[in-house]
Structure 1
């Protein structure tokens, strides 16, 4: 029943389903979700972080301490709407467990996960051809400064990826295959200094170890340099289920470089989990390719670029 409800919510999200490049870096850090927009055509972006995790299982009386790094390499490929992404986690862990009247420990390390995939922006409510800019109301200040119905329409992207692993990986179950598919739906709402991102994933589908996840991330910008975020993740699976909360902040040093720090905890004791993470995101946009966009019923005129829309909006306001 939980799986059916989850799939139904995902379908509803699809039904509700500008140019990707932004003046400052568009990063998925901090947090575990990914936004609906790509870095931009021809843009290369690296997002890397180090972490420490502590797990304690009350029933098994085990404790696991681990550290490692997570990475995400993103590339805006061919189109503004299309992104290729390689992400993964390398982890080194030490497990302590009871052995008679004493305790024993064992260490192991490998990539906990590696996934290569593609994300495509299916619906963008911010393009002029899809959503006309609302005219300012010269009588009501309140109407101009409150949430409009059109603001509830999110950008929607579709994601498809392939999980892969090499060699004897201690993080895989005994009969778990080395390759498995992963699909997802991503939505994003932008409202002034607030951004709400929702991710819905079906992971390792077509295997006996499939799981389903929902990640909901709310970010608030504090001026131009700092941002705070809170995130809730639910995981539904036969072998592992959990509810995890994350929180943290990011600091924008330059338009191309961002630092972040975050922490997480869960809501059960089989196991109890907590951890900290710090990271950096860097963008290389020297190879950016501007995509020309045609307005509806305007194919015979000069094609317009991203900045032309901003100029038109400014003229309308004047």
Structure 2
């Protein structure tokens, strides 16, 4: 089995190498979704931030104040298509429960989540894409909707959740190690990017979780972008619908800062959070690792600009 996996990886490396590297940083922050493209071979990237919020559960008469930190480490490995990553969070929360006419407080402080995994691009409609040329004889043809733009790039993700010690964030009987898998799609429409994640989490456990994330990003200027995001959970343990929104600013080619917030639509509990963070990359990518296909210069520039997997910025001022 191991030999077969190594063989498959070797084949993918030879026949599916293609340029995903971008001149500016390619970050998943500040949304929760993963983009369809990797950071690029030889790129090591840190994505981190802090958040605070409140959960108010009216049925249980309890309120929880939350402080936390989230982090992600991404590395482009072996090929432009493959990314190894680690995502996690550490959370400190204080819960106040109303018992009779008195309030009782309890505190939890531990790693809320840690997941190590790999993402691989299996289909890229932008590969060998050529710039659409205008039809000199038909105004209508130039305005016609191009159905091929609906075909997304597709990646697959596989990972493992793990916990340190006796985590209070595990329910009784939950294993310290559990699987996570996702299918990721991405559409690039100029300054607009649509990312979809379809996720199966802890599906070997008693209470598996299934969900989807849809993230829409729009570049307002070459350095400033905004996003809106919907995330839905389905589980016997916890189900919810969450909306997020926020913005990111490109300080340097390798440094991005961001702010965001979230709300949900129920009162068991009702939730809000605000967050801020940054993304920074160490760029060891070499120009000779970029795909050697015969793109014309204009097509290649367009393709590079369109491949930001989280937030899309134009490289042109």
The normalised TM-score by structure 2 is 0.85
Give 1:268's aligned residue: 266
Distance 1:150 1:93, change over 3 A: same
Match of 1:222 among 207, 220, 223: 220
The normalised TM-score by structure 1 is 0.85
Aligned-pair distance for 1:83? 0.2
> Counterparts of 1:238 and 1:86 in 2: how far apart (Å)?
27
| Contact residue 21 and residue 290 of structure 2 kept, 8 A | no
Alpha-carbon displacement from aligned partner over 1:18-39 (angstroms, at most 9, x marks no partner): 5211111110011100100001
SS at match of 1:264: strand
Give 1:24's aligned residue: 24
Aligned-pair distance for 1:310? 4.2
Alpha-carbon displacement from aligned partner over 1:123-146 (angstroms, at most 9, x marks no partner): 000111xx5554332234564466
Structure 1 residues without counterparts, runs of 5 or longer: 1-17, 294-303
Aligned-pair distance for 1:150? 1.1
Give 2:97's aligned residue: 97
Matched, 1:71 2:97: no
| Contact residue 42 and residue 289 of structure 1 kept, 8 A | no
Aligned-pair distance for 1:172? 0.9
| Contact residue 198 and residue 217 of structure 1 kept, 8 A | yes
Give 2:203's aligned residue: 205
Give 1:194's aligned residue: 192
> Counterparts of 1:211 and 1:184 in 2: how far apart (Å)?
12
Alpha-carbon displacement from aligned partner over 1:201-222 (angstroms, at most 9, x marks no partner): 0000111121001000000001
Aligned-pair distance for 1:101? 2.1
Give 1:283's aligned residue: 281
> Counterparts of 2:146 and 2:72 in 1: how far apart (Å)?
35
Aligned-pair distance for 1:89? 0.9
Distance 1:201 1:140, change over 3 A: same
Give 2:54's aligned residue: 54
Instruction: Map residues 109-188 of structure 1 onto 2, 5 A cutoff.
Output: 109-128=109-128, 131=129, 133-141=131-139, 143-144=141-142, 147-188=145-186
Give 1:243's aligned residue: 241
Structure 2 residues without counterparts, runs of 5 or longer: 1-17, 301-317
Instruction: Count residues with an aligned counterpart.
Output: 283
RMSD: 1.7
> Counterparts of 1:145 and 1:218 in 2: how far apart (Å)?
23
Deviating more after overlay: 138-147 vs 263-272: 138-147
SS at match of 1:150: helix
Give 1:15's aligned residue: none
Distance 1:61 1:133, change over 3 A: same
> Counterparts of 1:21 and 1:76 in 2: how far apart (Å)?
9
SS at match of 1:184: strand
Alpha-carbon displacement from aligned partner over 1:168-222 (angstroms, at most 9, x marks no partner): 1111101111000000000000000000000000000111121001000000001
Distance 1:124 1:77, change over 3 A: same
Aligned-pair distance for 1:99? 2.6
